[in-house]
Amino acid sequence: MPEQKQYNITPTPRLLERLGDIPIEQFRSVAELIDNSIDAFQDAIRDGHQFDQCRIKVTLPTADRAEACITIEDNGPGMSAEELEHAVRAGWSSNHANDHLGLFGMGFNTATSRLGLVTEMYTTRAGDDHWIGVRIDFAELIRRNSFLAPGLTRVKSDPALHGTEIRIRQLRLTHRSFFAKPINIQNIRNELARIYAPLLLDSNQPFQLEVNRVAIAPRRYCTWDERRTVPVERLGDVHAVERFDIPLPSRQYCPECLLTFDGDDVCPQCGQDNDIREIQRRLYGWVGIQRFTHPDKYGIDLVRNGRVIESLNKDLFMWRDDERSELDYPVDDQRNRGRIIGVVHIDHGAVSFTKDRFERNDPAWAEMVTLVRGEGPLRPQIARRLGFTASQAPLYRLFQAFRRNDPKAPTPWKHVLAVKDYKEAAAMAEWFYRGDPEYQSDEKWYELVERQDREIEAAAGARGDPNAPQPAFLERDASTGRDRNTSHVRLEVVAADSPRAASHRKPLPELSGKYHHRLVDMDFGVAAFSVAANDPDLPSGAPWTLIASVMSPGSHLFLVDLEHRVFRSMTLTALDGLLSELAVKTHTFLEQQQRHHVTFAQVLTDFRLGYAGENALEDAQLVSNARDTLHEIAVSIAGRVDASALAEMFEELDPNERDIIRKRAAESGVSDTADFVDNGQFLGYADHETVRFFVARHPELYFDGNYWLRPYEGLNLGSDKINNAARQTLSEQFDGYLADVVWLASKAPPDLARQNRNALMRAALSLRLLKPD
CATH code for position 71: 3.30.565.10
The whole-number pLDDT of residue 476 equals: 38
Of the two residues 372 and 637, the one the predictor is more confident about is 372
Give the up-direction half-sphere exposure of residue 524: CA atoms within 13 A in the CB hemisphere: 29
Mean pLDDT of 580-592: 88
Separation between Cα atoms, residue 559 and residue 463, nearest integer Å: 16
- Identify the DSSP state of 255: T
Mean pLDDT of 692-707: 90
> 480 and 437: one domain?
no
- Among 437, 462, 768, 448, CA closest to 626: 768
> 384 and 492: one domain?
no
Using alpha carbons only, how large is the chain's radius of gyration in Å? Answer: 33
The whole-number pLDDT of residue 645 equals: 84
**DSSP secondary structure string for all residues of 404-424:** -SSPPTTS-GGGTT--S-HHH
> 446 and 523: one domain?
no
The whole-number pLDDT of residue 211 equals: 92
Which range, 300-304, 408-412, 590-594, is most confident? Answer: 300-304
**Helix axes of 757-769 and 619-635: crossing angle, nearest 10 degrees:** 30
> Which residues fall within 8 angstroms of residue 632, CB to CB, at 6 or more apart?
772
The dihedral formed by the CA atoms of 35, 361, 346 and 228, expressed in degrees to the nearest 10: 130
> 24 and 82: one domain?
yes
Residue-wise pLDDT tens digits, 717-759:
888 888 888 999 999 999 999 999 898 888 877 777 677 777 7
Residues counted in the chain = 773
- Say whether pLDDT at 468 is over 50: no
Question: Which residues form the domain of 668?
Answer: 619-769
**Which of residues 374, 390, 405 is at a domain's end?**
405
Q: SS3 for 340?
A: strand
CA distances from 457 to 194, 465, 546, 553, 679 (A): 41, 9, 22, 20, 52
How would residue 460 be classed by pLDDT, with cut points 50, 70 and 90?
A: low
- Residues 661, 685 contacting (CB under 8 angstroms): yes
Residue-wise pLDDT tens digits, 441-456:
999 899 889 888 887 7
What integer best gives the mean pLDDT of the chain? 82
Residue-wise pLDDT tens digits, 138-174:
778 778 777 788 888 999 888 889 999 999 999 989 8
- Residues 329, 284 contacting (CB under 8 angstroms): no
Strands 555-560, 523-530: pairing is parallel
Phi, psi of 492 (to 5 degrees): -90, 150
Mean pLDDT of 395-403: 94
Count: domains in the chain: 5
Q: Which of 51-65, 242-256, 644-658, 672-686 has the lowest mean pLDDT?
A: 672-686
Separation between Cα atoms, residue 630 and residue 687, nearest integer Å: 10
Q: Is 187 within the bounds of a domain?
A: yes
**Which of residues 215, 244, 263 is at a domain's end?**
215
- Residues 420, 445 contacting (CB under 8 angstroms): no
> 281 and 335: one domain?
yes
362: left (phi over 0), alpha (psi -120 to 50) or beta: beta
The whole-number pLDDT of residue 505 equals: 84
Q: Is 611 within the bounds of a domain?
A: no
The whole-number pLDDT of residue 482 equals: 37
Q: Which residues, in sequence order, are bridge partners of residue 338?
A: 294
Query: pTM here?
Result: 0.59
Separation between Cα atoms, residue 773 and residue 767, nearest integer Å: 13
How would residue 685 be classed by pLDDT, with cut points 50, 70 and 90?
A: confident
Residue-wise pLDDT tens digits, 588-624:
888 887 777 888 998 888 888 777 755 555 667 778 7
Mean pLDDT of 560-565: 92
> 321 and 394: one domain?
yes
- Among 448, 455, 454, 402, CA closest to 421: 448
> Which residues fall within 8 angstroms of residue 23, CB to CB, at 6 or more apart?
none
Q: Is 2 within the bounds of a domain?
A: no
> 577 and 447: one domain?
no
**Which of residues 405, 420, 436 is at a domain's end?**
405
> 488 and 441: one domain?
no
How would residue 673 be classed by pLDDT, with cut points 50, 70 and 90?
A: low
Q: Is 750 within the bounds of a domain?
A: yes
Q: SS3 for 515?
A: strand
> 129 and 169: one domain?
yes
Residue-wise pLDDT tens digits, 267-284:
877 777 777 778 888 999
- Say whether pLDDT at 288 is over 90: yes
Residues above pLDDT 90, as percent of the chain: 29
> 237 and 309: one domain?
yes
Q: Is 597 within the bounds of a domain?
A: no
> 180 and 73: one domain?
yes
- Residues 188, 27 contacting (CB under 8 angstroms): yes
Q: Is 596 within the bounds of a domain?
A: no
Q: Which of 228-237, 454-463, 594-603, 640-649 has the lowest mean pLDDT?
A: 454-463
- Residues 220, 197 contacting (CB under 8 angstroms): yes
- Say whether pLDDT at 228 is over 90: yes
Q: Is 606 within the bounds of a domain?
A: no
Q: SS3 for 302?
A: strand
Q: SS3 for 728?
A: helix
Q: Is 254 within the bounds of a domain?
A: yes
What's the distance, CA 714 to chain centroid? Answer: 18
- Residues 379, 333 contacting (CB under 8 angstroms): no
> 187 and 240: one domain?
no
The whole-number pLDDT of residue 6 equals: 60
